[in-house]
Amino acid sequence: MSILVTGGAGFIGANFVLDWLAQHEEPVINLDKLTYAGNLENLASLQGDARHIFVHGDIGDSVLVSGLLTKHRPRAVINFAAESHVDRSIHGPREFIQTNIVGTFSLLESVRAHWEGLTGDTKACFRFLHVSTDEVYGSLRADAPAFSETNRYEPNSPYSASKAAGDHLVRAYHHTYDFPVLTTNCSNNYGPYHFPEKLIPLCILNALAGKPLPIYGDGRQIRDWLYVKDHCSAIRQVLEAGRVGETYNIGGRNELTNLEVVHTLCQLLDELAPPATRSLHFTSYRSLITFVKDRPGHDRRYAINASKLEGELGWKPQETFETGLTKTVLWYLENQSWITNVTSGAYRNWISRQYGT
Ligand code: NAD
Ligand code: TYD
């Protein structure tokens, strides 16, 4: 048996593949287009491991996907592949529509055709798990209860709208064709291999280089943070025991303002990499905090109610925000060559376009 993972060279997908192979003998076929966010270096520790089969390609390439399904006959497909950065979706939504909607549709068609041809237990046990985000639910008022699976979809950015459309297609394939889907909607992740365009890794790298820590608007927007490996363990549990056709929200009950996140990060960096030891002439990384122009249409608050997942499947996160963030900072401090490689040419173009530096 095997599983087919899409987008497994990205941040969450790579953590998922690494964790899976640390715990299972079951091989992973990893299909990834290697966009700017896909990085084979994330999977370097699997070099020579016959259980990891990497395939360079697009989820929208139905000939390629059908061929992989026929050849490897995986028992499940887990779809991480996506364009994932809200700010990029504001600058250029086209790729988001292409991968997150058209690509998801094409993948659903290819996998459904394969599943229709299966028989017996192989067909009954087959699963298509679609990895999605809490951003599809839109923005919460300060006093509103956290998102549950029955919240209305109210996406506000091209990114969240494209993810919402993908989720609707997945839902419709179950309703219409009985296709055995599972959907997960997770809150903001952080951890190793996070591409430094997102808040936490961007601030770690900028701080260590003595550069400004850009806070959009007033910095009081709230996100609900989850350590990436806790997200991966939730996906494994939903895959094994989730009820077909159901959606499961995943979150760590760590609602924090962006300012709180960055202050905690600065405090940790002050302890683990004191500025003076890096020839930086200030006493705390906090002095780098800089307020910049807000993101257009910036969602004010996200928060996840994960009680369905906790109650039905007994999932619990292992990390608190403090333990997870400490692990994350240590990982970035110990992986300088990964950082050097991902912050080359194309990355610099993005940073200067977004922050004007
Ligand atoms: P990422 O941008 O780091 O990685 C995406 C991966 O998908 C990359 O390896 C990229 O090369 C690949 N990819 C993109 N388009 C592709 C295509 N057409 N065909 C094949 N591969 C393609 O994203 P991430 O943060 O790892 O997110 C993974 C999934 O989890 C996404 O679906 C995202 O919406 C969802 N999610 C992310 C977060 C978060 O905080 N990062 C939270 C909840 C849900
Ligand atoms: P991000 O990591 O891009 O994730 P998302 O937009 O999917 O939640 O952003 C997290 C929060 O941090 C979000 O409210 C936007 C804010 N943010 C900043 O204040 N400055 C930055 O430079 C970035 C990238 C994000």
Q: Identify whether 105 is part of a domain.
A: yes
* Dist. CA 86–CA 149, nearest whole Å: 22
Q: Identify whether 270 is part of a domain.
A: no
Q: Which residue in 135, 167, 224, 255 is the catalytic one?
A: 135
Do 280 and 206 form a contact (C-beta atoms < 8 A)?
A: no
The pLDDT tens digits along the chain (357 residues) read: 999 999 999 999 999 999 999 999 999 999 999 999 999 999 999 999 999 999 999 999 999 999 999 999 999 999 999 999 999 999 999 999 999 999 999 999 999 999 999 999 999 999 999 999 999 999 999 999 999 999 999 999 999 999 999 999 999 999 999 999 999 999 999 999 999 999 999 999 999 999 999 999 999 999 999 999 999 999 999 999 999 999 999 999 999 999 999 999 999 999 999 999 999 999 999 999 999 999 999 999 999 999 999 999 999 999 999 999 999 999 999 999 999 999 988 999 999 999 986
Q: Identify whether 312 is part of a domain.
A: yes
* Dist. CA 144–CA 147, nearest whole Å: 9
Q: Identify whether 72 is part of a domain.
A: yes
Pocket test for ligand 1, best of 6, 12, 36, 132 (most atoms within 8 A of CB): 12
Can you give the C-alpha Rg of the chain in angstroms?
20
134 is catalytic: yes
Between the CA of 80 and the centroid of ligand 1 the distance, in Å, is: 5
Q: Identify whether 93 is part of a domain.
A: yes
Q: Identify whether 356 is part of a domain.
A: no
CB distance 206 to ligand 2 below 6 Å: no
Q: Identify whether 156 is part of a domain.
A: yes
The residue range of the domain holding 154 is 3-195+226-255+300-318
pLDDT of residue 344: 85
Between the CA of 183 and the centroid of ligand 1 the distance, in Å, is: 15
The count of domains in the chain is 1
Do 68 and 31 form a contact (C-beta atoms < 8 A)?
A: yes
Do 130 and 239 form a contact (C-beta atoms < 8 A)?
A: no
User: Residue 296 has which token pair?
Assistant: 């257009």
pLDDT of residue 345: 81
pLDDT of residue 357: 65
Q: Which residue in 58, 134, 230, 255 is the catalytic one?
A: 134
* Dist. CA 303–CA 187, nearest whole Å: 7
CATH number at 180 reads: 3.40.50.720
Pocket test for ligand 2, best of 187, 199, 262, 351 (most atoms within 8 A of CB): 199
Spell out the long-range contacts of 117-121 with Cβ–Cβ below 8 A and sequence spacing 24 or more. Answer: none
Q: Identify whether 333 is part of a domain.
A: no
The sign of the torsion formed by the CA atoms of 141, 160, 126, 74 equals: negative
